Chain A
Amino acid sequence: MSAKILLNSKEIHIILHRLACQLIENHTHFKNTVLIGLQPRGIFFAKRLVTILRNDYGISNIQLGALDITFYRDDFRRRESPVEANKTTIDFVVEDKRVVFIDDVLFSGRSIRAALTAIQSFGRPTEIELLVLIDRRFSRHLPIQPTYKGRQVDAINQEKVIVQWKDNNEKDAVYLINN
Chain B
Amino acid sequence: MNQLSVQHLLGIKHLTKADIDLIFSTADHFKEVINRPIKKVPSLRDITIANLFFENSTRTKLSFELAEKRLSADIINFSASQSSVKKGETLIDTANNILSMKVDLIVMRHPHVGACDFLSKHVNAKIINAGDGTHEHPTQALLDSYSIREKLGSVKGKKVIILGDILHSRVALSNIYALKLQGAEVKVCGPKTLIPKYIESLGVGVETNIKKALEWCDVANVLRVQNERMATNYFPSTREYTKLFGINKKMLDSLDKEIVIMHPGPINRGVELTSDVADNSQSIILNQVENGVAIRMAVIYLLAQQIERK
Residues of A bordering B, CB below 8 Å: 68, 70-73, 76-78, 81-88, 117, 120-123
A79 to chain B, nearest CB (A): 9
Nearest A-chain residue to B36, judged by Cβ: A121
Measured between alpha carbons, how far is A76 from B28 in the docked complex, in Å? 19
Contact partner, B29, options A78, A81, A88, Cβ 8 Å: A88
A-B pair number, CB within 8 angstroms: 53
Measured between alpha carbons, how far is A76 from B38 in the docked complex, in Å? 21
- CB contact under 8 A between A82 and B2, given known A72-B42, A77-B309: yes
Contact partner, A87, options B32, B43, B308, Cβ 8 Å: B32
Residue numbers in A under 8 Å from B2 (CB-CB): 81-84
A92 to chain B, nearest CB (A): 12
Residues of B bordering A, CB below 8 Å: 2-3, 25-26, 28-29, 32-33, 36-44, 301, 304-305, 307-309
Residue numbers in A under 8 Å from B44 (CB-CB): 76
Contact in complex: A71, B305 (CB < 8 Å): no
Give 4 closest A-B pairs by Cβ, nearest first.
A71-B41, A121-B38, A84-B2, A85-B29
- CB contact under 8 A between A77 and B41, given known A82-B2, A85-B26, A122-B36: no
Nearest A-chain residue to B29, judged by Cβ: A85
Nearest B-chain residue to A94, judged by Cβ: B37
Measured between alpha carbons, how far is A70 from B3 in the docked complex, in Å? 14
- CB contact under 8 A between A77 and B307, given known A71-B41, A85-B26: yes
Summarize A's interface: helix, strand, loop or mixed.
loop
Measured between alpha carbons, how far is A69 from B2 in the docked complex, in Å? 16
Nearest B-chain residue to A68, judged by Cβ: B29
Given contacts A77-B309, A82-B3, 17 further A-B contacts (CB under 8 A): A70-B29, A71-B42, A71-B301, A76-B304, A77-B304, A77-B307, A77-B308, A78-B309, A81-B2, A82-B305, A85-B25, A87-B28, A88-B29, A88-B32, A88-B33, A117-B42, A121-B38
A111 to chain B, nearest CB (A): 15
Measured between alpha carbons, how far is A114 from B43 in the docked complex, in Å? 11
Most chain B beta-carbon contacts within 10 A, residue among A86, A88, A121? A121
Residue numbers in A under 8 Å from B39 (CB-CB): 121
Measured between alpha carbons, how far is A85 from B297 in the docked complex, in Å? 13
Nearest A-chain residue to B2, judged by Cβ: A84
Nearest B-chain residue to A120, judged by Cβ: B38
| Contacts A/B (CB < 8 Å), 24 sampled | A68-B29, A70-B29, A71-B33, A71-B41, A71-B43, A72-B43, A76-B44, A76-B305, A77-B304, A77-B308, A81-B3, A82-B3, A84-B25, A85-B29, A86-B29, A87-B28, A87-B32, A88-B32, A88-B33, A117-B42, A121-B36, A121-B40, A122-B36, A122-B38
A97 to chain B, nearest CB (A): 13
Nearest B-chain residue to A71, judged by Cβ: B41
Measured between alpha carbons, how far is A117 from B2 in the docked complex, in Å? 24
Residue numbers in B under 8 Å from A77 (CB-CB): 304-305, 307-309
- CB contact under 8 A between A121 and B29, given known A78-B309, A81-B3: no
Contact partner, B43, options A76, A81, A84, A86, Cβ 8 Å: A76
Residue numbers in A under 8 Å from B33 (CB-CB): 71, 88, 121
Measured between alpha carbons, how far is A73 from B41 in the docked complex, in Å? 10
Measured between alpha carbons, how far is A37 from B160 in the docked complex, in Å? 41
Measured between alpha carbons, how far is A73 from B43 in the docked complex, in Å? 7
Residue numbers in A under 8 Å from B3 (CB-CB): 81-82
B33 to chain A, nearest CB (A): 7
A108 to chain B, nearest CB (A): 18
Residue numbers in B under 8 Å from A72 (CB-CB): 41-43
Measured between alpha carbons, how far is A70 from B33 in the docked complex, in Å? 12
